[in-house]
Structure 1
């Protein structure tokens, strides 16, 4: 196989749980050597259910193909064992609260003296500076504080918890990889590394781009259910079918909308959804609820009008399209010989490890081994 783009680069990964480990998984898949530095009892994710034999499945899918070492970072003697690794590292990823690495003598200012070419990436909820910098939080909190959740919060009786971890992945993992690659390119030009400040809450404003454009242009920001892409239009939303499933309708463009309305035999007076959007939505809701999901799939799929039945995860992983693209082809191998598909990462197959390459889940070993 041709050389991978990050082959020969060394990554020191001090991160835990999801954002950092997913980012370093992408770097590993692109050819980098990732050395995961864990506390003596291991990354907390090692204990997350479900178990695959004696291995945590969530840990396996995020960390296969890396190498792990155990270090007590509060022990000066054990920290000293990191120096040879820092000297040869190209990238460091950490996910502690601001200031923690500096207190341990492992902050960017200290390490750049040892290795001025080091690209040092810090992932936090609110960034290294600012009034919220030391505030605790998780994905839901970052989306809440940035106003993103307000666009589609559900009802007071049934609040909606988003199914995707937009802040962890879209605000942490992906921006980390993007900025690391940009910093490496800058290092190619200048010979110098840098400190990257990745705040997961920052990217929540990126996800709210349309609502922000509306608010800045008109002086009024959209409220719950008012954004066209968050429940504000009958052309874009979810409708329940007779058998308790859902139809995802994304018929925004007029040609798709006309086709969809024709398939539902929607009255002409309701097809102009600007007149009375609520009435149009109610009529669509009634019609969709009159048939099972399979019937709507049979009717609408041939029309190609951006209407799809919401698949379960079980159906999605068996979909012939995704199977053909090999999204679940790369696997993590546990110590007992079990295999589980690696977390799906958005890297072109030409730029990552071969699907059939061995990716063992790293055992936790002392730094001296």
Structure 2
């Protein structure tokens, strides 16, 4: 079977993470992705460390299976060079501040005149309009601005750095992918494209549904107080006797009862304590034994508890190996190889070749001449 996006042409003017990861997902589902980069330098992500041959590992992972065209978008002839590709494109992704593409002659209104079927996706931090639309910011700033970062505060009241680029991926890449697919479906019905306004900060509020619900009833969440932000012994990270950690999430009573019994605590006694005291009691019990003891004790039991492992350990965990997460590969232009980035595209939809290349800068400039 052909892939679901076979025949879809994507023009990607984005850099770094949100847009490139979105176009990677589209490419894995069969789309032809043409990546436009600055001559000489290319996507800034190419310069990051560590390097695999000439490019960073980050760039190689995010640009598997794409084509690269090096072009100076400010040059007088850029628009005329791009017009043939724009006329036949299905999707355009851009990640500049609002107004930049308009100044380059590549804004949605202008391109919709050339290609009314174009699905034009703009990914920004704060959206195409509003008081903060042109504000310079990065992932951490969007997480802070949306209220999410405040809920990571520990006992000293200081928020901790998130371990992932939540706004870029969860607020940018995934909503962009979803809306591009919706727009393509709508185009099937109407014959017309649309301008998509994907604002990373906006989309972080969805992840705080419970806090917004509580807040609407006058109970705004605070650090170490909510159900999933440290306010209960049923959703905590506990230290073991040997300094390892257990992530315990036995929220439902059936799991909690199993967990408490195996930890050697009394559920009724814990229920009569304040949440803080109950957390301390469970923590004291967990701290009596090393992590191996608890792994053995919890094995085969429904307790929703896992050892906190490193990324290296998780990468080689037998379960994920059995799932084939790292069975595909990406090669550099010079022939170096890395395991491909696992992506949330079902195996039934992904490209059939298990190895694909990351492009050299400008390797496909001949596309400007066809």
Q: Structures share a fold, TM > 0.5? A: yes
2:61 maps to: 61
Asked if 2 retains the 8 angstrom alpha-carbon contact of 1:247 and 1:293, the reply is yes
Asked if 2 retains the 8 angstrom alpha-carbon contact of 1:63 and 1:361, the reply is yes
Aligned partner (choices 330, 352, 357) of residue 360 of structure 1? 357
1:167-186 to structure 2, matched below 5 A, reads 167-186=167-186
2:302 maps to: 304
How far did 1:288 drift? Answer: 1.4
Structure 2: any 5+ residue segments left out of the alignment? Answer: none
How far did 1:367 drift? Answer: 3.0
How far did 1:38 drift? Answer: 0.6
Length-normalised TM-score, structure 1? 0.96
1:266-324 Cα deviation digits (max 9, x unpaired): 1355331x632111111111121222212111111221210110111111111111111
1:87 maps to: 87
Asked if 2 retains the 8 angstrom alpha-carbon contact of 1:71 and 1:79, the reply is no
**What secondary structure, in the 3-state scheme, does the structure 2 residue paired with 1:195 have?**
strand
1:146-171 Cα deviation digits (max 9, x unpaired): 11112222344754111121110000
How far did 1:240 drift? Answer: 1.1
User: How many angstroms apart in 2 are the aligned matches of 1:96 and 1:267?
Assistant: 57
Asked if 2 retains the 8 angstrom alpha-carbon contact of 1:11 and 1:33, the reply is yes
1:248 maps to: 247
User: How many angstroms apart in 1 are the aligned matches of 2:295 and 2:158?
Assistant: 28
**What secondary structure, in the 3-state scheme, does the structure 1 residue paired with 2:299 have?**
helix
2:312 maps to: 314
Moved over 6 A (4+): none
Aligned length: 365
Asked if 1 retains the 8 angstrom alpha-carbon contact of 2:28 and 2:351, the reply is yes
* 1:280 aligns to 2:278 (yes or no): yes
Residues 1:280 and 1:155: Cα distance change in structure 2 (over 3 Å): closer
Asked if 2 retains the 8 angstrom alpha-carbon contact of 1:297 and 1:309, the reply is yes
Residues 1:99 and 1:254: Cα distance change in structure 2 (over 3 Å): same
1:149 maps to: 149
User: How many angstroms apart in 2 are the aligned matches of 1:233 and 1:341?
Assistant: 39
**What secondary structure, in the 3-state scheme, does the structure 2 residue paired with 1:302 have?**
coil
Deviates more, 1:356-365 or 1:244-253: 356-365
How far did 1:243 drift? Answer: 2.0
Aligned partner (choices 345, 349, 360) of residue 351 of structure 1? 349
User: How many angstroms apart in 2 are the aligned matches of 1:11 and 1:153?
Assistant: 41
Length-normalised TM-score, structure 2? 0.96
How far did 1:48 drift? Answer: 0.6
